[in-house]
């Protein structure tokens, strides 16, 4: 039953990859198969020509020798040219399929929910996009070569062998049934080992991602030896699985070699006596022997491809699993538009609860953010402040409660319409390995030079721009590594200023700036927020004293709300936090 299920899964994977990615290349594949067939048939032609070559040499027929020599050259030339062009064609198909898989895989991944990415390590994703797609795409050149070249070669060589002597052929193949069950067992072994090897490769990529992004932490805490040892352990696990997989793949052609040795040994023992007795000619024996010696080479490749195919199926399974994943946060089938102007829309969260697995984050949160005013979210770490932003932009979905903008439940808006309402600046500014200009514009081509200059000035990027060799076209580096933390934050602020959305979400937006830059940038943000609905997350309470409303959160609830003065006078959690910070800063 398990074998039947595995076969059904394999067929389903083949149908999926054929219909989605190989079918557009049908003409090229058919041409490659034709060339493979020509290449494979040339092996039969070579073994066939051995007979007249030996018989004419032994018989002293001088006139026939040049003809036989030219025929053999023509066979080798045809084999060479057909082999060359079919390999080029199949490489082209393989790379095109790999590129299409990678493109579609990344596009599909970007539709999935944020929680999916939190649960799937980056290294695992990278390995699927690079390693698994290459393995799944390039296996077809091997499989089709086995079908178009090696199968034809096997048929042509067996045809030559049978034409010489049927009995010799049966004797040579007597040991073949002995390897059927061992080969089937090895195939299952290879698939299991290959699947484990792909997971181990993903672990290596994940470990490298953590090492390179955490290199400063590693150095400051003197963790070089610890991390090197952990990486070495991960690599050792991968090596172990690769060796197991390679051993299984190598075992299949090794068994075929044993069969070949047994068969040829038997033929030499039986056929050699017939030649001595004059029942067969030396030319017949050499033609047969050449055919049988060559027949086991395509057999070995056919056996080897079964192991490679099982390894590729492991990659296909991993890719198919990702494509089968579906986002749960979607635009509604019949979306609605905001009933009010975006800059007049009030934000309401009413009795909202959310938990990640069994960990509650928000428990009955209720708050309002009035249009055109600033609402600050404060409270201890882990109170759920950042989760409010994720809910408003539908990066996550609450389990219960009501979330509305302008009286409209946000789930009734399309995701693009909803997210177009927000400009977001977080404390972890994500920059791309592109120029500063590209990082600010983010693909927009409708920004005038005057507007861009205005944004650069307001975000105080012009303060450090003259220090960069290429100015605005200077590369930001991987994750913005060519810039300081404060410079990266200013680029993120420039993005928000340029986006000019009606709602601002600021999560510690000035946290990475020095005191002087913070004051200047805060003034720019204050001016911007005067005509917009603004939600601010802040740990430094001195930065939100001027907020119209301060919502104090604790353990996923809003425990206090009011102005700075009112909350201080109340003497609750906010007052305690403020006095503690004031004492620390004093």
Average model confidence (pLDDT) for the chain?
A: 81
Find the mean pLDDT for residues 452-457.
87
Domain annotation covers residue 295: yes
Residues 359 and 311 in one domain: no
pLDDT at 349 over 90: yes
Residues 402 and 547 in one domain: yes
The token pair that represents 286 in the structure block: 């050499």
Give the pLDDT of residue 184.
Answer: 65
Helices (H) and strands (E) in the chain, counts: 20, 10
Contact in structure between 126 and 102 (CB atoms under 8 Å): no
Rg (CA), the chain: 35
pLDDT at 16 over 60: yes
Looking up residue 540, the CATH number of its domain turns out to be: 3.40.50.300
Beta strands in 385-521 (DSSP E): 400-405, 408-409, 422-425, 503-507
Domain annotation covers residue 6: no
From residue 86, how far is each of 40, 117, 118 by CA, in Å? 12, 40, 44
The token pair that represents 41 in the structure block: 């048939």
* Alpha-carbon 55 to chain mean position: 60
Containing H/E element for 411?
A: none
Residues 271 and 202 in one domain: yes
For residue 365, the SS3 value is: strand
Of 87-101, 170-184, 345-359, the range with the lowest mean pLDDT is 170-184
More confident residue, 355 or 217: 355
Largest CA distance in the chain: 120
Among candidates 33, 30, 41, which has minimal Cα distance to 75? 41
Domain annotation covers residue 1: no
The token pair that represents 539 in the structure block: 């740990």
Residues 359, 361: Cα–Cα separation, whole Å: 6
pLDDT at 125 over 50: yes
Find the mean pLDDT for residues 392-416.
92
Residues 358 and 415 in one domain: yes
Give the pLDDT of residue 187.
Answer: 66
Give the pLDDT of residue 418.
Answer: 92
Confidence of residue 388 (pLDDT cuts 50, 70, 90): very high
Give the pLDDT of residue 366.
Answer: 92
The verdict on pTM exceeding 0.85 is no
Domain annotation covers residue 331: no
pLDDT of 271-286, one tens digit each?
Answer: 777 767 677 777 777 7
Of 46-60, 100-114, 444-458, the range with the lowest mean pLDDT is 46-60
Residues 398, 580: Cα–Cα separation, whole Å: 33
The token pair that represents 59 in the structure block: 């018989």
Give the pLDDT of residue 167.
Answer: 81
For residue 402, the SS3 value is: strand
Residues 431, 491: Cα–Cα separation, whole Å: 8
The token pair that represents 413 in the structure block: 């808006």
Domain annotation covers residue 461: yes
Query: How many domains are there within the chain?
Result: 2
pLDDT at 583 over 70: no
Give the pLDDT of residue 6.
Answer: 63
DSSP string, 11-48: HHHHHHHIIIIIGGGHHHHHHHHHHHHHHHHHHHHHHH
Residues 98 and 241 in one domain: yes
Residues 202, 358: Cα–Cα separation, whole Å: 27
Give the pLDDT of residue 74.
Answer: 87
pLDDT of 51-68, one tens digit each?
Answer: 777 666 656 667 677 787
**Rounded percentage of the chain residues whose pLDDT exceeds 70:** 86
Residues 380, 239: Cα–Cα separation, whole Å: 46
End-to-end CA, the chain: 74
Find the mean pLDDT for residues 123-130.
81
Confidence of residue 410 (pLDDT cuts 50, 70, 90): very high
Which burial class, exposed, middle or buried, applies to 427 when counting CB atoms under 10 A from its CB (0-12, 13-18, 19+)? middle
Domain boundary among 324, 358, 389: 324
Looking up residue 308, the CATH number of its domain turns out to be: 1.20.1560.10
Residue numbers of the domain that contains 350: 342-585
List of residues 6+ apart from 453 with CB closer than 8 A: none
Domain annotation covers residue 317: yes
Residues 400, 382: Cα–Cα separation, whole Å: 20
Residues 320 and 346 in one domain: no
Containing H/E element for 61?
A: none
Contact in structure between 404 and 327 (CB atoms under 8 Å): no
Contact in structure between 405 and 505 (CB atoms under 8 Å): no
Contact in structure between 112 and 295 (CB atoms under 8 Å): no
Domain annotation covers residue 530: yes
Containing H/E element for 198?
A: helix 180-213
Residues 455 and 573 in one domain: yes
Residues 537, 379: Cα–Cα separation, whole Å: 9
Residues 530 and 408 in one domain: yes
Containing H/E element for 575?
A: helix 573-585
Among candidates 193, 97, 80, 195, which has minimal Cα distance to 144? 97
Residues 298 and 165 in one domain: yes
pLDDT of 513-522, one tens digit each?
Answer: 667 767 766 7
Contact in structure between 559 and 383 (CB atoms under 8 Å): no
pLDDT of 538-570, one tens digit each?
Answer: 877 777 888 889 999 988 898 999 988 888 888
Residues 392 and 500 in one domain: yes
Contact in structure between 352 and 365 (CB atoms under 8 Å): yes
Give the pLDDT of residue 586.
Answer: 46
Confidence of residue 417 (pLDDT cuts 50, 70, 90): very high
Among candidates 474, 465, 480, which has minimal Cα distance to 432? 480
Residues 207, 128: Cα–Cα separation, whole Å: 15
Domain annotation covers residue 527: yes
Dihedral of alpha carbons 448, 454, 458, 461, sign: positive
Confidence of residue 253 (pLDDT cuts 50, 70, 90): low
More confident residue, 496 or 524: 496
Residues 290 and 355 in one domain: no
Residues 132 and 54 in one domain: yes
Give the pLDDT of residue 491.
Answer: 86
């Amino acid at each position: 039953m398990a074998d039947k299920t595995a076969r059904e899964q394999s067929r389903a994977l083949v149908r999926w990859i054929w219909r989605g990615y190989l079918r557009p290349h049908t003409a090229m594949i058919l041409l490659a198969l034709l060339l493979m067939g020509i290449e494979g048939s040339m092996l039969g032609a070579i073994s066939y020509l051995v007979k007249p070559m030996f018989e004419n040499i032994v018989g002293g027929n001088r006139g026939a020798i040049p003809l036989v020599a030219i025929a053999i050259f023509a066979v080798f030339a045809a084999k060479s040219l057909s082999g060359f062009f079919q390999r080029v064609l199949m490489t082209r198909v393989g790379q095109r399929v790999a590129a299409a898989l990678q493109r579609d895989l990344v596009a599909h991944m970007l539709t999935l929910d944020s929680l999916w990415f939190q649960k799937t390590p980056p290294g695992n994703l990278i390995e699927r996009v690079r390693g698994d797609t290459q393995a799944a795409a390039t296996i077809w050149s091997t499989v089709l070569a086995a079908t178009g070249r090696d199968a034809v070669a096997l048929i042509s060589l067996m045809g030559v062998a049978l034409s010489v002597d049927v009995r010799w052929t049966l004797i040579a193949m007597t040991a073949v049934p002995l390897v059927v069950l061992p080969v089937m067992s090895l195939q299952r072994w290879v698939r299991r080992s290959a699947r484990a090897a792909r997971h181990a490769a993903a672990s290596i990529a994940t470990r490298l991602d953590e090492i390179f992004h955490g290199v400063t932490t590693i150095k400051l805490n003197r963790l070089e030896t610890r991390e090197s040892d952990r990486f070495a352990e991960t690599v050792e696990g991968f090596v172990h699985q690769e060796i197991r997989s390679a051993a299984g793949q190598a075992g299949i052609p090794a068994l075929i070699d044993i069969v070949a040795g047994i068969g040829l040994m038997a033929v030499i023992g039986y056929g050699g006596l017939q030649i001595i007795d004059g029942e067969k000619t030396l030319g017949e024996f050499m033609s047969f022997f050449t055919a049988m010696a060559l027949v086991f080479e395509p057999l070995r490749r056919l056996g080897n491809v079964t192991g490679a195919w099982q390894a590729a199926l492991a990659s296909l399974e991993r890719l198919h699993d990702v494509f089968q994943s579906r986002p749960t946060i979607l635009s509604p089938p019949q979306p609605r538009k905001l009933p009010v102007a975006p800059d007049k829309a009030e934000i309401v969260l009413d009795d909202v609860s959310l938990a990640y697995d069994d960990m509650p984050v928000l428990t009955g949160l209720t708050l309002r953010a009035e249009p055109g005013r600033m609402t600050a979210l404060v409270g201890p770490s882990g109170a759920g402040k950042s989760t409010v932003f994720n809910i408003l932009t539908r990066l996550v979905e609450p389990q219960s409660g009501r979330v509305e903008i302008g009286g409209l439940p946000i789930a009734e808006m399309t995701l693009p319409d909803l997210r177009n309402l927000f400009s977001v600046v977080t404390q972890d500014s994500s920059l791309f390995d592109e120029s500063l200009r590209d990082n600010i514009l983010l693909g927009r081509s409708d920004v005038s030079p005057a507007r861009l200059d205005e944004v650069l000035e307001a975000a105080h990027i012009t303060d450090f721009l003259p220090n960069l060799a290429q100015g605005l076209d200077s590369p930001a580096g991987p994750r913005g590594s060519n810039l300081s933390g404060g410079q990266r934050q200013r680029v993120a602020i420039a993005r928000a200023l340029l986006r000019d959305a009606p709602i601002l979400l600021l999560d510690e937006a000035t946290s990475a700036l020095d005191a002087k830059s913070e004051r200047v940038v805060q003034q720019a943000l204050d001016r911007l927020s005067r005509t917009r609905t603004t939600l601010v997350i802040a740990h430094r309470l001195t930065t939100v004293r001027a907020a119209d409303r301060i919502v104090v959160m604790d353990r996923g609830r809003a425990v206090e709300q009011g102005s700075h003065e009112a909350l201080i006078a109340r003497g609750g959690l906010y007052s305690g936090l403020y006095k503690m910070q004031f004492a620390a800063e004093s």
